[in-house]
Amino acid sequence: MADPEKWRALEPLLLEARDQICERFEGDPNFAGAGIGSPIRGGRYLQTLVCAVFVVRKLPESELDPSQVIPRTIEVQGVLVETDVVEAGVFELH
């Protein structure tokens, strides 16, 4: 997981990136939500922080309308925040 000091420094930027993603994609039926955290690759957490974008189904870029493509980075206050697209399915309230 990411260093706590790094987390505190980046948290406001990550939250702003999350908010931008939510605002931009809220009407897209494939968009399920967004959050912040460390991405997982090969079953291990990476030592970086990203804006995690949850989609119902992860599709190749070639199958998406350009308006549906999640950007790889989002600029917040002059800093590029990375995104990580995660296939999550449909979230349901229980």
Domain boundaries, the chain: 4-87
Q: Specify the amino acid at residue 72.
A: R
pLDDT of residue 2: 61
Distance CA 79, CA 9 (A): 12
Per-residue pLDDT tens over the stretch 45-55? 898 899 999 99
Q: 33-69 burial, b if ≥16 CB within 10 A, otherwise e?
A: bbbbbbbeeeeeeeeebbbbbbbeeeeeeeeeeeeee
1: pLDDT strictly greater than 70: no
pLDDT value, residue 90: 86
Q: For the residues 77-93, what does the mean pLDDT come to?
A: 92
